[in-house]
Amino acid sequence: MRRAYYLVPPLPNCIIAPDMWSFFHKLGSPPWLYSISGAILRWLLPITLVALAIGLVWGVLFTAPDFRQGNSYRIIYIHVPSSVVALAGYYVMALAGAVSLIWKMKMADVAMQACAPIGAALTFLALITGSIWGKPTWGTWWVWDARVTSMLILLFLYLGVIALYEAYDNKVAAGKACAVLSLVGMVNIPIIYKSVDWWYSLHQPASIKFTGESTIDTSMLYPLFLMIAAFYALFTCCMLMNMRVEILRRESSTGWVKRLLFRQEHD
């Protein structure tokens, strides 16, 4: 059964190639998305867990201690990936919101809702690990510098989206309102982050530079990159799992979900 709202308004094929276009159509169909995400997860989830384990063991056990911070710096292997992915997650959420607003695609709305709690959790993790790292390094649990503050603001932005979604009884309107709010937040994030440059802080300037010379040793950098990649994959896995639950919840009265459950009972 194909309902009208799975369709997206036709664009000329010169803009998107025909294959791409049918892929986009399929992306809007809950049963297809449910099955493809299941297939992706079957591979991605074990890879993610293995990469997380390797990165963590490599970073924590097999890198040299920092000459000034000793062993305490090793929390970087949790702190940096979670902050990087927390920020990227907001953009994923906002872009999904934009897609759901522009093309009225229900599955984009599901994707947006799936991002918010994961992003909030990662932001919280980044703040907690930063605070634990701050105690031995700066001698205090909490410093009001720009980067810590902007992560805190990011947490507020995430929580605002979640709170707005919960406040609406009409979940269709809730999705749209959250999409608008997350887009507003997306415009504001660079403004908030730019305050890093102006705001006096105890926080060191960024150590990883892709353009200039890095001030962190490469032997410490490889496990860090692995952890960042693993956290991205973890975010994707969690997002897909959240989406699958939400798809089942929304489609619980449709035939394909009933058939799916029936089949699982008999397997």
Closest to other proteins by CB, 169 vs 213, is: 169
Closest to other proteins by CB, 179 vs 247, is: 179
> Shortest distance, CB of residue 76 to other proteins, whole angstroms?
27
Closest to other proteins by CB, 58 vs 199, is: 199
Closest to other proteins by CB, 50 vs 173, is: 173
Radius of gyration of the chain (CA): 21
Binding site for other proteins (CB under 8 A): 101, 149, 153, 156-157, 159-160, 163-164, 167-168, 170, 172-173, 176-177, 180-181, 183-185, 187-188, 191-192, 195, 198-199
> Shortest distance, CB of residue 191 to other proteins, whole angstroms?
5
> Shortest distance, CB of residue 197 to other proteins, whole angstroms?
11
User: Given its phi and psi angles, is residue 70 left (phi above 0), alpha (psi -120 to 50 degrees) or beta?
Assistant: left
Closest to other proteins by CB, 153 vs 202, is: 153
**CA distances in angstroms from 247 to 29, 79, 99, 106, 138, listed in the order given:** 10, 32, 17, 10, 46
> Shortest distance, CB of residue 153 to other proteins, whole angstroms?
5
> Shortest distance, CB of residue 148 to other proteins, whole angstroms?
13
